[in-house]
Amino acid sequence: MKEFNIPFLDLKLINQPYENEINDAFKKRVASGWFILGEEVQKFENAFADYCGTKYCIGVANGLDALILLLKASNFPKGAEIIVPSNTYIASILAISLAGFKPVLVEPDLATYLIDPQKIEEKITKKTKAILVVHLYGKCCEMLEIVKVAQNYSLKIFEDAAQSHGAYYGSKKAGNLSDAAGFSFYPTKNLGAMGDAGAITTNDDLLAKKIISLRNYGSGKKYVFEYQGMNSRLDEIQAAILNIKLPQLNLENEFRQKIANRYLSEIKNQKLVLPSSETQNKDAWHLFVVRVAERENFRNYLIEHGIGTDVHYPIPPHKQLAYRFWNKLSYPISEKIHKEVISLPLNIALTENQVSYIIEKINQY
């Protein structure tokens, strides 16, 4: 018998506390008649740069564009190699391809699911120009070791911070751990808009100036085009929504951490491999991902008890048809992760009773 019906994520409930403010902001934007690159975007760029501890934040249309733009702005030669984890959402890899560069895959550490710093150096060639780290699931990569490798080979470091809003590595936040970082504000993210939205953070004056131009067709001055750019601009309505939500991000991350800490301490089922807890109070906990050998059986069991889940992600990038030329390659750690991972509900709409119920049913599996 189902005691609860717990969806993996209910965006209506997530956004309910902001409903009145969002409605007011929408009416104000409509009345203003200004919808692109206005005061709301400027306000958000200033606030998010301050939040991340960076000099610049540049609002763009989405997280994929953020990565493409920071790569395009970096002046790498065509065909340059960019190191990227083999265990990631495909957007990290697509960005490299779409920017005109070659992705070079590196296996993750099975304990963290993040790129293994010990495996990076063996993939570096004369064509390698940068390392794109991915702070997957809200956990920051081991940046100290990665920075050492990058410095030894004079490589740039970029962050895919799409899932790590507010996550810490040491005393610094994600987005301020490299030469530049790309963020997504897709509605499901810790800081989510109500449509596609993204941003780039950096402390590099020249890089920021070029990205500001590239996002606007390559124009720094109206009808004057210095670069072959893109149309990728954060709009005023999404920026207004992000301005409403940003002041609550730390509190919402703390709420996520409390749920994650309960899962870590109270789930006792030996069939599950829980995420690493070494940095549990610094992680943003965008997702709480466990591994189970018989994933479909486990998932069906939870469905029978009214508990929704999701799989992030079922097919590794090198097995996707979009990258057919990789399909016969073997990345066994990534393949194991993609075969076994399942994400449990973790969001600000969950009640303590629901969390207790989820834990109880998992322990009974």
| DSSP per residue, 81-103 | EEEEESSS-HHHHHHHHHTT-EE
- For residue 106, the SS3 value is strand
Q: How far is CA 313 from the centre of its chain?
A: 13
Q: Taking the CA of residue 268 as centre, how many other CA atoms within 13 Å lie in the half-sphere pointing to its CB?
A: 5
Q: With contact defined as beta carbons under 8 Å apart, do 35 and 237 qualify?
A: yes
Structure confidence at residue 258 (pLDDT): 98
Whether residue 215 is predicted with pLDDT greater than 70 in this model: the reply is yes
Q: Average pLDDT of the chain?
A: 97
Structure tokens at 279: 């940095």
- Report the distance separating Cα 289 and Cα 278, nearest Å: 15
For β-strands 180-184 and 198-202, DSSP reports them as antiparallel
* Helix ranges (DSSP H) in the chain: 11-15, 19-32, 39-52, 63-72, 90-98, 143-152, 205-214, 236-245, 249-266, 295-304, 332-340, 352-364
pLDDT digits (tens, 9 = 90+) for 20-71: 999 999 999 999 999 999 999 999 999 999 999 999 999 999 999 999 999 9
The pLDDT-based confidence of 3 (bands split at 50, 70, 90) is: confident
pLDDT digits (tens, 9 = 90+) for 245-256: 999 999 999 999
Whole-number Cα distances in Å, 169 to 82, 134, 144, 176, 278: 23, 13, 9, 9, 12
Say if residues 95 and 245 touch (Cβ distance below 8 Å).
no
Confidence of residue 4 (pLDDT cuts 50, 70, 90): confident
Residue 198 confidence (pLDDT): 98
pLDDT in tens, 270-307: 999 999 999 889 999 999 999 999 999 999 999 999 99
The model's pLDDT over 92-147, given as tens digits with 9 standing for 90+, comes to 999 999 999 999 999 999 999 999 999 999 999 999 999 999 999 999 999 999 99
pLDDT class for 1, splitting at 50, 70, 90?
Answer: low
Q: What confidence score (pLDDT) does residue 345 get? A: 98
